[in-house]
């Protein structure tokens, strides 16, 4: 007898230890390109330490590429022997072509795959997969789960404090004048994955401390308004700052449940070392 649902995600999401150990979760990695060199984004082929070291030394930023439709088709051909269907949760289509490859791969294989645009990256993607586990345990069928997850993409909240302006500059996302002034004035850009899945600047804050308080203020509001107490802190190779942010959140929300993890490589190559992101789902009651 076939199992009901295989769960698919890509490495733009935060790959938790639970996902790695889960027998029905399949992680499809992106590829990171440093010039002619290619690395599989699996944390083994290129560790986080190596990634940031290479980024720091590079004159231009690395590029990322989604898995091909053929890679997905190969996986789906194998899975249809064991599962009735799959639910695939992928990075925002505005930021990555992964969901298009996944959908094309499903068509090539003839396997039923419910592909969901998370409209997010990092834990915004992973949190939907975890939510899917809960719905499956409640007895919902795959189609119902997929429909619920698509609706719940709007519950994701995120505030991202850019850590390294030089990376934005090298990536062509900031002019030389803006880079100089931003560094001189210690301006901290704050960006956000919007409700339609785009990554956009939403504010600029003077000083690191003010930026941290900016993040916490928004978390506190949703805690007070909606009872949110589960938060995620994603960081770009700066665990000390992530731990500090956690302690600051706990001062305001003492019963908060906070997970700390690394930024996905796809976001790290753009956002930069020392980036901090505070994330949560508005329906976490």
User: How high is the pLDDT of residue 178?
Assistant: 40
Angle at 74 between CA 72 and CA 79, to 5 degrees: 90
- Ordered alpha helix ranges (H), the chain: 17-21, 48-57, 69-79, 98-109, 123-137, 142-152, 165-170, 176-185, 208-226, 239-252, 265-271
> Using CB atoms within 10 A of its CB, is residue 260 exposed (0-12), middle (13-18) or buried (19+)?
middle
Q: Which domains does the chain have, with CATH numbers?
A: 3-153 (3.40.50.10170), 156-281 (3.30.1180.10)
Query: For residues 196 and 92, what is the distance between their CA atoms, to the nearest angstrom?
Result: 8
Q: Does residue 259 or residue 178 have the better pLDDT?
A: 259
More confident residue, 54 or 168: 54
Residue 39: band (very low, low, confident or very high) from pLDDT cuts 50, 70, 90: confident
Contacts of 17 (CB under 8 A, 6+ apart): none
Q: Among candidates 195, 213, 206, which has minimal Cα distance to 282?
A: 195
Mean pLDDT of 26-31: 93
C-alpha 124/C-alpha 281 separation (Å) is: 8
Q: Kindly report the average pLDDT of the chain as a whole number.
A: 87
Q: How confident is the model at residue 164 (pLDDT cuts 50, 70, 90)?
A: low
Q: What is the pLDDT of residue 165?
A: 56
What pLDDT, on the 0 to 100 scale, is given for residue 166? 57
Checking if the pLDDT of 56 tops 90, the result is no
More confident residue, 174 or 87: 87
* Statement: residue 77 has pLDDT above 80: yes
Instruction: Please report which confidence band the pLDDT of residue 167 belongs to, taking 50, 70 and 90 as the band edges.
Output: low
Average pLDDT over residues 128-146: 96
């Amino acid at each position: 007898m076939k199992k009901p649902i295989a769960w698919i995600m890509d490495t733009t999401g935060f790959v938790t230890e639970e996902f790695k150990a889960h027998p029905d979760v399949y992680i499809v990695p992106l590829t990171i390109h440093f010039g002619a060199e290619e690395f599989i984004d699996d944390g083994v082929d290129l560790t986080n330490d190596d990634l940031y070291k290479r980024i720091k030394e590079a004159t231009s930023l690395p590029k990322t590429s989604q898995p091909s439709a053929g890679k997905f088709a190969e996986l789906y051909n194998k899975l249809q022997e064991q599962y009735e269907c799959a639910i695939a949760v992928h990075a925002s289509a505005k930021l990555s072509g992964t969901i298009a490859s996944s959908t094309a791969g499903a068509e090539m294989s003839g396997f039923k795959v419910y592909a969901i645009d998370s409209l997010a990256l990092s834990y915004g993607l992973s949190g939907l997969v975890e939510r899917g586990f809960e719905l499956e345990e409640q007895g919902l069928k795959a189609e119902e789960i997929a429909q619920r997850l698509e609706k719940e993409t709007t519950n994701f909240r995120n505030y991202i404090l850019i850590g390294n302006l030089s990376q934005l500059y090298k990536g062509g996302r900031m002019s030389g004048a803006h880079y100089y002034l931003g560094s001189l004035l210690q301006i901290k850009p704050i960006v956000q994955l919007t409700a339609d899945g785009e990554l956009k600047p939403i504010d600029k804050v003077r000083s690191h401390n003010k930026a941290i308080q900016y993040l916490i203020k928004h978390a506190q509001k949703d805690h007070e308004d909606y009872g949110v107490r589960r938060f995620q802190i994603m960081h770009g190779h700066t665990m000390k700052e992530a731990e500090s942010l956690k302690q600051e959140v706990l001062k305001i929300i003492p019963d908060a449940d906070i997970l700390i993890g690394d930024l996905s490589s796809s976001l790290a190559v753009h956002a930069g070392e020392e980036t901090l992101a505070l994330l949560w789902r508005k329906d976490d009651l």
